[in-house]
Amino acid sequence: MSDLSKKISLTRAITSMRRLFPDEYVFYPSSWFIPAQLDAFIKHCNKCAKSGEHSTSFQNSNNWYIVKPDDGAQGTGIYLIQKPEEIRKPETCQLIQEYIADPYLLNDNLKFDLRIYAIIKSINPLSIYVAREGMARFCTEQYATPTSSNFDNLYAHLTNYSLNKENNAYIHSLSLIDQIKGSKRLLSTVFHQMEARGVKKQQLWHDIKIIIVKTVIAMLPEIILNYEHYFYDTIAPSLTIEHDICNTFDDDKENMELLRVRSIVDEVNNNHYNKDNH
């Protein structure tokens, strides 16, 4: 089921649902997958340039975009652009998204994301378990709105552990005390830090779970097709999905779907979902 973890597959699913329910899927940044939608992205940029308007739904200062390889991982191959001609290897499968230029920051002024884990236990009826504990990954250099002089400072713009651990400024969390300022922190620790700055934790947690549910719903048709393909013997001859993907959490673990949900909170405490992995 590796296709479900690719960025373009997720974007197709979210885009389809956004057409049907535009008010319910505003959490996902406007996106274009190339090469198929390269012309559409060029038209979008030309329109923004002519009108002098900022790009669409988020506070996207000076229309910055983030480009990610479709099947990339660990921050490899990710970069920021302002113009279509800055796209590297436009013939390869990549995802272009509006860059969230006003992320919510704590006192250390480091950009971070929240990693929340969810398990799809059953698809009919749909049953999702969300882990109460997760983690947050922090950049290792202070954030600044992207400009022509700092857009390539990946230590300030990308939260990926595999990238930031190479920076001398990376702080290992060797104890509970260390992880208060660590480059990796428990989700509960970050929630407490956000609460101290006035963020309503319960509302934030509610919003995150809603995003998870909406994302799974968007992916559900493809999940069902993949499940039927890989586990045909399990569901034949009825070809209905009326039982648990994983009957228990101890047995048949190979049938259980694990989603790693990455959420970035902006300055006005809106959640922006980026991608999922299995």
Beta strands in the chain (DSSP E): 31-34, 65-69, 79-81, 94-98, 112-123, 126-130, 135-138, 184-186, 257-265, 271-277
CA dist., res. 148 & res. 81, Å (int): 9
What are the pLDDT digits (tens) for 80-139?
Answer: 999 999 999 999 999 999 999 899 999 999 999 999 999 988 888 889 999 999 999 999
Q: What pTM does this model have?
A: 0.79
CA dist., res. 83 & res. 99, Å (int): 13
Banded pLDDT at 63 (limits 50, 70, 90): confident
- Number of neighbours of residue 226 by Cβ within 10 angstroms: 16
For 42-52, what is the mean pLDDT?
A: 85
Q: Is the pLDDT at 257 greater than 70, yes or no?
A: no
Q: Are 133 and 188 in contact (CB under 8 A)?
A: yes
CA dist., res. 113 & res. 105, Å (int): 10
Q: Are 53 and 80 in contact (CB under 8 A)?
A: no
The percentage of residues in the chain with a pLDDT greater than 90, rounded to a whole number, is 60
Instruction: Choose between 47 and 252: higher pLDDT.
Output: 47
**How many residues appear in the chain?**
278
Banded pLDDT at 265 (limits 50, 70, 90): low
Instruction: Choose between 260 and 170: higher pLDDT.
Output: 170
Q: What is the mean pLDDT of the chain?
A: 82
Banded pLDDT at 254 (limits 50, 70, 90): very low
Fill in the amino acid letter for 7: K
For 156-163, what is the mean pLDDT?
A: 95
SS3 content of the chain, % helix, strand, coil (to 5): 35, 20, 45
Q: Which of 258, 191, 219 is nearest to 28 (CA)?
A: 219
What are the pLDDT digits (tens) for 202-212?
Answer: 999 999 999 99
Which three-class secondary structure state does DSSP give residue 246? coil
Exposure of 272 by Cβ count < 10 A (0-12 exposed, 13-18 middle, 19+ buried)?
Answer: buried
Q: Which of 194, 189, 176, 163 is nearest to 265 (CA)?
A: 194
